[in-house]
Structure 1
Amino acid sequence: MMKALLSTCLLLALLSPGSVHVLGPFSAPTGPAGRLEHLHVKAGYHRPKFSHSLPLQCRFTFNKTGLTYEGNVETTCNFEEDACAANVLRTNINQFQAHLANRCAISRSCHSGHYSFTAADGKFFELKKQCCNTKLCNNEVLSLPDRNLRAENGLQCPACFSKGKKMCKSEKTLNCLENETQCLQYKGAILTGVFEPFYFTFQGCGTDFCSNRRNGIYLVGAGNVSLVLGPEIICYNASPISHQPEHEE
């Protein structure tokens, strides 16, 4: 466990000499002196205005073995937790994981939206998040659509996937799905609890992960799964499908 913690700390230090920004429901981004930093929210995503007396009460549920809702309990938030969040996450980057989590949050790092990407070899990451600021407001149980039922949107991107830190080379294209209108080129890691970071690279389709990017790095995730996003991620508009003979569904 100590080795895993040291590896995670080293990853964060190597990817950025500045602050670490967290795009998740459980902690706030902090600067070098421990002060809260501001994260800009991209167009199309909504960050509610939070103003209420503390402590706030939120619904709490956490299922890290699947997306089955097993009820919730009321919980009193810590002093710095001024928001509630409902989250659902599904990914198969290093292994299949599905988390359902409703709990207290910090408004500066809670951004409602639907984040997703699809890479080569069927690899994907998908997160849906809702943030609110009133007592027990996070009572909605979020869900993700069946990936097999997601429709193509007429766009395509270069596609590849590889383990490790060397950028993969695209030799095929990928037909994009629904809200994934950006082409992404990514080099980073996914963190799962106290385990060592899983490094990987990919090209593929996705939502716009770049608008919240800073000079440092930030994390996007739910439960104990976080995707590390740094300055090396590239986003650009996907192209219309050109009916090339070789593509990956």
Structure 2
Amino acid sequence: MDVRLVLCLLWALLATASARPSSCYHSIPGESNAVRSCSSGADSCIAVQEANSFGGVVNTGVLQLCTNSLISLEGDLDFEFGGGVYVRVHSEICRETNCNTGEIKERPKISTVPNGRQCPSCFAPGSHRCLHNVTLHCQGAANQCVDVVGTLSENYVEIPFAARGCATQDVAKIKAGDILVSGVFTYRIKSIQLSPAPRTEIEDGF
């Protein structure tokens, strides 16, 4: 192969590896929306959509900003805690200038088809302990059991919570000590455990 061609290919690979956005669209709850320059520590733009049902009300929000991909999570981070309580987060990372300025598309509806698995479930706002568990039949892609303890905050008000239920595999990316800034709340994770959900026990009816 021609040496010049090899050098051109090498330069292209290096340029791609070091590419980073000079600015990203910033949309943060409570702040004005604008395109802003990224700091030297940011190598990506991110767009995060959150929907949760805390308090019996569906809360939705979007977060867009510059980020460091090494400390940001991407994918579908879905939790179902039973009793109609859920947290659903969809996050996308891109690495071109202002690549997160496009219209946020409505996320496809979550599958409600039972997947044959089950987990203990609870949701205890205001506490770091779950005192009661109810069996929850998992749905769609939520094939993992999760046990999470932490705090959630909004507008400088922070409360502890403990929860168990079904979750998607992407939740495995979350580690104890992580701070997850989403479209509605900020979650500080004190501890989290994830394990494959066992299959639902079927009683012999014959």
Change (3 A) 1:169 1:50: farther
Within 5 Å, which residues of 2 pair with 1:138-157?
Answer: 138-140=100-102, 141-147=104-110, 150-157=112-119
Number of equivalences = 182
Q: What does the per-residue CA deviation read over 1:57-88, in whole Å, with 9 as the maximum and x for residues that have no partner?
A: 22334567xxxxxxx75332233322101111
8 A contact 2:114–2:138 mirrored in 1: yes
8 A contact 2:122–2:130 mirrored in 1: no
Q: What does the per-residue CA deviation read over 1:162-196, in whole Å, with 9 as the maximum and x for residues that have no partner?
A: 232222321x311112121111122222122311x
Letter of the 1:51 partner, please give it.
S
1: distance between equivalents of 2:131 and 2:116? 24
More strand by share: 2
1:220 aligns to what?
180
2: distance between equivalents of 1:169 and 1:139? 44
User: RMSD of aligned C-alpha atoms?
Assistant: 2.6
Q: Which has the larger radius of gyration?
A: 2
Percent of aligned pairs with the same residue? Answer: 20
In the alignment, which of 223, 235, 238 is matched to residue 197 of structure 2? Answer: 238
In the alignment, which of 122, 125, 130 is matched to residue 160 of structure 1? Answer: 122
Q: Which runs of 5+ in 1 are unaligned?
A: 1-48, 65-71, 245-249
Q: TM-score, normalised by structure 2?
A: 0.75
- What SS is found at the alignment partner of 2:83? helix
| More relative contact order, 1 or 2 (CA 8 Å, 6+ apart) | 1
Q: TM-score, normalised by structure 1?
A: 0.63
In the alignment, which of 229, 238, 242 is matched to residue 189 of structure 2? Answer: 229
Is 1:74 matched with 2:35? yes
Q: Which runs of 5+ in 2 are unaligned?
A: 1-15
Post-superposition shift, 1:201? 1.6
Within 5 Å, which residues of 2 pair with 1:1-20?
Answer: none
8 A contact 1:77–1:104 mirrored in 2: yes
2:49 aligns to what?
88
